[in-house]
Chains A and B, each alone.
Chain A
């Protein structure tokens, strides 16, 4: 048995996944305060239905789905104005020239249509494959593959891609 009881199981989930769920929620809401609220609420809901989680290996996708639904429930219809200067503060501090690459790539990610960006974030941040993403966003695997392909093709038009190409061509 991985967890001794409900409380320790919950605490393990919070410590294991809160950071990556926050990053996912951040890209859903594009606001750090809303992202934290979403994650807080998602874990509150997770606690209530924790007994339904039979397979510990499914915990990650289960939590991502809760976050996604929580975002839809709370914020999808009341988007706030995004303060772009604040968003720059929320970038991971990669240091040096990379920060500029990340800024350009970030702009590119923001410019993607939401139905392209969301599966991309699930794959990049959550590490899910196309089938898992399809289950989570309730669509077909083929549709997810199409969206992911189009997302990457769109991102290739941005300058960050050129830099990535130079690095890998060395």
Chain B
């Protein structure tokens, strides 16, 4: 191997050093020096090329993946099974949840029963379809507005080990608006929609698209909340600390 060949190879890939290249380095001080220089040079390139990766990127990809996997994409047969699965989840929720104000019967239904314009169903869709993008913006809303809404509805946010990953507004069908808060705790993530100008008549729990949503009047009966989480356990824990 001559110097020309050595340099051609080492500039193409400094990590791939063949035995022939090693032998040449031992015999050629200039090429040995070049090889040493390129080690530091490669480290500098790698350092400069390393862009900061957004927080929770993998989680957002998987969240979106969940939303993409619509039952209808798999045809009628799979859709039927998905509907049955949703119903089973809903039945399980009916047995396990106790979100209701005293004396009020909770209604546990599938999304198909309520329709896509129901606030709880629409919120699941909104969370799955928009939250991955919204989370990129981090804390974007006005904390004072949120605190005002909390006071009006009589709810309290958990203060310990809780991160507000997003704060903003979101639409609530048919034509309302709510405060959209994404909460992250050690036990999971949930999306909270606070509605100050509307009090739901009753509590509804919906299972749809692998998510669960609770729509309920607040205990003070001043306003409502919608909670969306990916598991019953998470939903229950968030409800317990909010109410």
A residues adjacent to B (C-beta < 8 A):
10-11, 14-15, 18-19, 22-23, 26-27, 32-33, 35-36, 39-40, 43-44, 47, 89-94, 98, 101-106, 108-109, 120-121, 123-125, 129-130, 144-146, 148-149, 152-153, 155-156, 160-161, 163-165, 167-169
Whether B11 and A120, one on each chain, are in contact in the complex, defined by CB atoms closer than 8 angstroms, is no
Bound state CA distance, A81 and B120, in angstroms? 39
Return chain A residues, CB-CB under 8 Å to B51: 22-23, 26-27, 32, 35, 90-92
What's the nearest-Cβ distance from chain B to residue A59, in Å? 15
Which residue of the partner chain, among B12, B47, B54, contacts A22 with CB atoms under 8 Å? B54
Return chain A residues, CB-CB under 8 Å to B37: 161, 164-165, 168-169
Bound state CA distance, A46 and B132, in angstroms? 19
Bound state CA distance, A108 and B44, in angstroms? 11
**Contacts A40-B64, A105-B48, A124-B46; A129 near B16 (Cβ below 8 A):** yes
Return chain B residues, CB-CB under 8 Å to A40: 60-61, 64, 132
The chain B residue with its CB closest to the CB of A23 is: B51
Return chain A residues, CB-CB under 8 Å to B46: 124-125
What's the nearest-Cβ distance from chain B to residue A74, in Å? 15
Whether A164 and B8, one on each chain, are in contact in the complex, defined by CB atoms closer than 8 angstroms, is no
Which residue of the partner chain, among B13, B49, B65, contacts A47 with CB atoms under 8 Å? B65
The chain A residue with its CB closest to the CB of B51 is: A26
Return chain A residues, CB-CB under 8 Å to B64: 40, 44
Which residue of the partner chain, among A39, A90, A98, A129, contacts B13 with CB atoms under 8 Å? A129
Return chain A residues, CB-CB under 8 Å to B16: 129-130
Q: Given contacts A109-B45, A149-B8, A152-B38, list 20 more A-B pairs with CB under 8 A.
A: A14-B65, A18-B58, A19-B57, A23-B50, A27-B49, A32-B51, A36-B54, A36-B60, A44-B64, A44-B65, A91-B50, A98-B47, A105-B44, A125-B46, A130-B16, A153-B11, A155-B45, A164-B37, A164-B43, A164-B44
Whether A36 and B57, one on each chain, are in contact in the complex, defined by CB atoms closer than 8 angstroms, is yes
Return chain B residues, CB-CB under 8 Å to A43: 61, 65
Task: Tell me whether chain A's interface is mostly helix, strand or loop, or mixed.
Answer: helix
**Contacts A36-B136, A40-B64, A169-B36; A101 near B58 (Cβ below 8 A):** no
Return chain B residues, CB-CB under 8 Å to A108: 48
Q: Which 8 A-B pairs have the closest CB atoms?
A: A105-B48, A164-B40, A168-B40, A145-B12, A149-B11, A26-B51, A106-B48, A164-B41
B residues adjacent to A (C-beta < 8 A):
8-9, 11-13, 16, 36-54, 57-58, 60-62, 64-65, 68, 132, 136
Bound state CA distance, A40 and B41, in angstroms? 32
Offer 17 A-B interface pairs, CB within 8 angstroms, sorted by A. A11-B62, A23-B50, A40-B64, A44-B65, A47-B65, A89-B52, A92-B51, A101-B44, A102-B47, A105-B45, A109-B48, A109-B49, A130-B13, A149-B8, A164-B43, A168-B36, A168-B39
Bound state CA distance, A73 and B42, in angstroms? 31
The chain B residue with its CB closest to the CB of A37 is: B133
Bound state CA distance, A105 and B44, in angstroms? 7
Whether B57 and A39, one on each chain, are in contact in the complex, defined by CB atoms closer than 8 angstroms, is yes
What's the nearest-Cβ distance from chain B to residue A159, in Å? 10
The chain A residue with its CB closest to the CB of B35 is: A168
